[in-house]
Amino acid sequence: MEISVTDLAIPDVKLIASAPFKDARGFLAETYRRDDFAALGIDCEFVQDNLSGSSAAGTVRGLHFQIAPYAQAKLLRVTRGRIFDVCVDLRRSSPTYGRHVAIELGADSGVQQLYIPVGFAHGFCTLEPNTEVFYKVSNVYSPAHERSLFWADPALGIAWPVGVQAVVLSERDKSAPPLASLGGHFA
């Protein structure tokens, strides 16, 4: 598997691109092989796959995370449409605590994936209708351990591509706490 890894503004968050094999039929790409990822320093055991579909452009899902013992690393890619993806560092001992990294990902941008380690809140805004996001997680979903961070917290300084009046949100995401009220879930 030929892959390239790019560290983003927060180096623990990585953009991963797989080189597809192309022929007259289209292409084939290996999107995950544990030994190759481990050789790159991403040594997670992914235990659950999720597929998120959003009908409307301007849908924000997040910013979500799970706490110990069900904290999750994620490996995600867009299978249809485009997203503005955001990862916020919640690791108290990190020099980038409270900062975020944002990147646009799309199904048309080749075989790109985003790796988000444990200790980050994650969310995205759909940029096109009928967008689908596929992601692997390193721990199973646990409703009792799920937490959220307010997506539009001014302290985060995220330049979302949708305004507060136009966003499509769940009720839970509308009432998520800001960073200052979150508490320390990650060392």
Q: Residue 30: its pLDDT value, please?
A: 87
pLDDT tens column, 20-33: 888 999 988 888 99
pLDDT tens column, 91-131: 999 999 999 999 999 998 778 999 999 999 999 999 999 99
Q: Which domains can be identified in the chain, with CATH numbers?
A: 3-181 (2.60.120.10)
Q: What is the mean pLDDT of residues 76-97?
A: 97
| Paired strand residues for 103 | 85
Catalytic residue, chosen from 100, 115, 122, 135, is: 135
Rounded Cα–Cα distance for residues 71 and 52 (Å): 19
141 is an active site residue: no
64 is an active site residue: yes
Q: How many residues does the chain have?
A: 187
> 67 is written with which tokens?
């706490």
DSSP per position, 106-132: ETTS-EEEEEE-TTEEEEEEESSSSEE
pTM of the model: 0.94
Q: What is the mean pLDDT of residues 44-54?
A: 96
Catalytic residue, chosen from 64, 100, 115, 122, is: 64
Q: What is the mean pLDDT of residues 51-79?
A: 97
